[in-house]
């Protein structure tokens, strides 16, 4: 369990770059569709290069074969776990500070047990009361956000994140179920290349490409600036490649549902990392008393949840 928690927390550090850089691009006028879709375009390039450098041409051939054999599954899981999730996260960054989005994103901790139950997995009831504390903290942060802006901006920032909080664990759980082979409605995908974190993220990235193409065609955003290109490349490397690979590797090591819940819970650390990042790089002010109380409750709930689950 300590190894899983450490890997999850390290992933949270790199994930936090998403919220800080997305907010920076939003303040500079970058369109949210380019912010989201370009990230996965860069991820595709980075992941192909990394897999080629570390595993050779055979690994890329294996990824291609697995994708073609189960293309519908990978498009489904990639579109949900990467497409729906990240497009809504970047949309929200137009209406709220990165740390507010990161805090609201912690509803994924509440969503994970629900997703596991929907997949027929048993989830221990102990510790779930602490997810309520996390949720209260999220509410306090958004109440402060509403007081400083408007109800419309809160709805446009919070509701998309709530949907994204379910989409991400659904996409990841689809891959976990396919690897384990216990779900009769999903293909059993058993291949040594799936032990490689880069390969799993690459398969999901390729699967999400149709989603991004459709989104670009429907929205027709203006061309991205050079600054947006650089920022999305950084997000792709730090969050898309490094953080996602660490997170999926930690999930891959899980053998029981409570371990999956504990790994997902470590993502609450994104709140602190995002807040610090915005203060340092964007000159953001510290949140008010209500916001700080919300952040504190979120982290207390996380610590208590992980402790009980570990026991």
Lowest mean pLDDT among 26-30, 58-62, 140-144, 250-254: 250-254
Q: Are 106 and 274 in contact (CB under 8 A)?
A: no
The pLDDT assigned to 309 comes to 64
- Give residue for tokens 């489904």: 76
Region for residue 181 given its phi and psi (left: phi exceeds 0; alpha: psi -120 to 50; beta: otherwise): left
Residue 211 has pLDDT above 90, yes or no: yes
The pLDDT assigned to 216 comes to 97
The span from the first CA to the last CA of the chain, in angstroms, equals: 10
pLDDT in tens, 255-305: 777 677 678 777 778 888 898 899 888 887 788 888 889 888 888 887 777
Quote the DSSP letter at residue 70: T
d(CA 281, CA 268): 21
The pLDDT assigned to 66 comes to 95
Under the banding of pLDDT at 50, 70 and 90, the label for residue 306 is: low
d(CA 160, CA 169): 15
The pLDDT assigned to 231 comes to 95
Mean pLDDT of the chain: 88
The pLDDT assigned to 266 comes to 77
Q: What is the mean pLDDT of residues 213-233?
A: 95
The dihedral over CA atoms of 110, 32, 82, 128, expressed in degrees to the nearest 10, equals -10
Q: What is the mean pLDDT of residues 12-33?
A: 92
Q: Please, what is the angle between helix 244-253 and helix 257-265, to 10°?
A: 160
Residue 13 tokens, joined: 């550090």
Residue 241 has pLDDT above 90, yes or no: no
Residue 249 tokens, joined: 């590797």
The pLDDT assigned to 177 comes to 92
pLDDT in tens, 50-84: 899 989 999 999 999 999 999 999 999 999 999 99
Quick count: other Cβ atoms within 10 Å of Cβ 72? 9
The pLDDT assigned to 311 comes to 62
The pLDDT assigned to 310 comes to 60
pTM higher than 0.85, yes or no? yes
């Amino acid at each position: 369990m300590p190894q899983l928690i450490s890997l999850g927390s390290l992933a949270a550090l790199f994930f936090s770059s998403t919220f800080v850089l997305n907010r920076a691009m939003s303040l500079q006028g970058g369109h949210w569709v380019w912010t989201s879709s370009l990230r996965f375009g860069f991820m595709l390039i980075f992941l192909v290069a990394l897999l080629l450098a570390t595993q050779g041409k055979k690994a890329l051939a294996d990824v291609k074969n697995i994708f073609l054999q189960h293309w519908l599954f990978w498009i489904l899981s990639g579109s949900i776990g990467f497409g729906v999730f990240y497009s809504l996260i970047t949309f929200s960054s137009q209406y709220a500070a990165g740390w507010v989005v990161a805090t609201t994103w912690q509803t994924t901790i509440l969503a994970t047990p629900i997703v596991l139950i929907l997949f027929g997995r048993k989830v221990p009831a102990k510790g779930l009361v602490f997810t309520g504390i996390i949720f209260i903290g999220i509410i306090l942060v958004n109440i402060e956000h509403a007081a400083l802006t408007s109800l419309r901006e809160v709805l446009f920032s919070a509701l998309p994140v709530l949907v994204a909080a379910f989409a991400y664990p659904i996409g990841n759980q689809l891959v976990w179920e396919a690897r384990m082979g216990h779900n009769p409605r999903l293909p059993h995908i058993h291949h040594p290349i799936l032990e490689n974190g880069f390969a799993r993220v690459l398969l999901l990235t390729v699967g999400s490409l149709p989603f991004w193409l459709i989104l670009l065609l429907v929205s027709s955003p203006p061309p991205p600036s050079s600054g947006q290109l650089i920022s999305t490349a950084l997000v792709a490397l730090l969050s898309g490649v490094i953080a996602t690979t660490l997170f999926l590797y930690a999930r891959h090591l899980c053998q029981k549902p409570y371990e999956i819940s504990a790994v997902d819970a470590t993502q609450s650390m994104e709140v602190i990392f995002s807040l610090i990042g915005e203060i340092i790089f964007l000159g953001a002010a510290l949140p008010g008393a209500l916001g700080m109380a919300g952040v504190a409750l979120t982290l207390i709930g996380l610590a208590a949840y992980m402790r009980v689950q570990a026991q």
